[in-house]
Copies of this chain bind each other. A is one copy, B any other.
């Protein structure tokens, strides 16, 4: 049996492949080197760079191209305008040009910063992503969203900039802390809940999951396929793509107000519990859906409650969500696994009840 080919993200003349499996890292380095006139600039989370930049840079040199390593602060602290400005200045100082290529190496924060930097440097240069966390492999590096945070909220500044290629190599996940691995599963649950009840059942049935699970590449592939299909149908999030924000309105608000207690994926887990609770209050689904969501997340050792949440701060933050239009929050509700869509109106007090449920 041959390994399945890459997942194609269909976006007209900006279509690209997401290669998944052992060897995907080297193939992505090869693609970046092939695209670059002279130089591949590796924008890498400094912690990830210590583990993996050596191999990437060797791969660039082996293909006859120059390399430039720009280390980014580890993790979420990289997501600031100042880090992007500094990266642009370092590219400029090194003589990096429009015909050259940025390679993003690290988790979602690093690929967000690398993608944003590539989208604005010289008004846009190509970027190839090499995500090294499960979260980034299944979510952050597919779809072309880039962004950084402001003190006023997460991802308030960014662009849509489709990568030229993405390589999801499960080999990177072996160096990932177990908690980070589990946090990534939250986005797999989200993809499954939106679009694939069979995947949801498999996640539950074959738990626990870790980097050595033989089904892991399959599950990554399926999550990437789901996201790719949605993004292809709706690149700039006018409708269908908004379903990918399931759990994220509350999730982002929790992330902004929890003082770093939770990782992004963990906040999405809490946010999905909240979103299903809202859905029950809105009459979209019954208590069985809420029980199911909680049971799956618990099985994957993801958080389903946090008595420490500050309800006033969380609700205040949901009102700063950038998906608002005309002052209304664009909640994504569910009728159960396989069905998520936009709700224009919610019963009075439902968001507060959902946060109170999370604080149980």
List the interface of chain A (C-beta within 8 A of B).
37-38, 81, 84-85, 88-89, 92-93, 95, 97-99, 119-124, 145-147, 150-153, 155-160, 236, 319-320, 322-327
A152 contacts B92, CB within 8 Å?
yes
CB contacts (< 8 Å) of A92 on chain B: these are 150, 152-153, 156, 320
Known: A88-B150, A89-B150, A89-B151. A156 touches B122 (CB 8 A): yes
Shortest distance from the beta carbon of A153 to any chain B beta carbon, whole Å: 6
Contacting residue for A156 out of B121, B124, B155, B325, CB 8 A = B121
| Most chain B CB atoms below 10 A, which of A85, A119, A123, A327 | A123
Interface of A is mostly: loop
CB contacts (< 8 Å) of A150 on chain B: these are 85, 88-89, 92
Contacting residue for A322 out of B97, B158, B326, CB 8 A = B97
**Assembly of this chain: how many copies?**
2
B326 contacts A93, CB within 8 Å?
no
Q: Residue of B at shortest CB range from A121?
A: B157
Known: A85-B81, A150-B92, A152-B92. A123 touches B325 (CB 8 A): no
For the complex of A and B, the 10 pairs showing the least CB-CB separation, nearest first, are A92-B152, A37-B326, A99-B325, A81-B85, A122-B322, A123-B158, A120-B157, A97-B324, A88-B157, A92-B156
Known: A88-B150, A150-B92, A151-B89. A98 touches B156 (CB 8 A): no
Contacting residue for A324 out of B98, B119, B152, CB 8 A = B98
Q: Residue of B at shortest CB range from A37?
A: B326
Contacting residue for A119 out of B81, B89, B155, B159, CB 8 A = B159
CB contacts (< 8 Å) of A88 on chain B: these are 81, 150, 156-157
Q: Residue of B at shortest CB range from A122?
A: B322
B159 contacts A99, CB within 8 Å?
no
Contacting residue for A98 out of B84, B89, B325, CB 8 A = B325
A152 contacts B325, CB within 8 Å?
no
Name 18 interchain pairs, CB-CB below 8 A, sorted by A.
A88-B156, A92-B152, A95-B320, A97-B325, A97-B326, A98-B322, A98-B324, A98-B325, A99-B325, A120-B157, A120-B158, A121-B157, A122-B156, A122-B322, A123-B146, A124-B159, A124-B160, A159-B159
Shortest distance from the beta carbon of A177 to any chain B beta carbon, whole Å: 30
CA of A322 to CA of B37, assembled, Å? 14
CA of A123 to CA of B322, assembled, Å? 9
CB contacts (< 8 Å) of A157 on chain B: these are 85, 88, 120-121
A97 contacts B327, CB within 8 Å?
yes
Contacting residue for A38 out of B155, B320, B327, CB 8 A = B327
Given contacts A88-B156, A123-B322, 10 further A-B contacts (CB under 8 A): A38-B327, A81-B81, A81-B85, A89-B150, A92-B156, A119-B159, A120-B158, A121-B157, A123-B155, A124-B159
Shortest distance from the beta carbon of A68 to any chain B beta carbon, whole Å: 14
CB contacts (< 8 Å) of A89 on chain B: these are 150-152
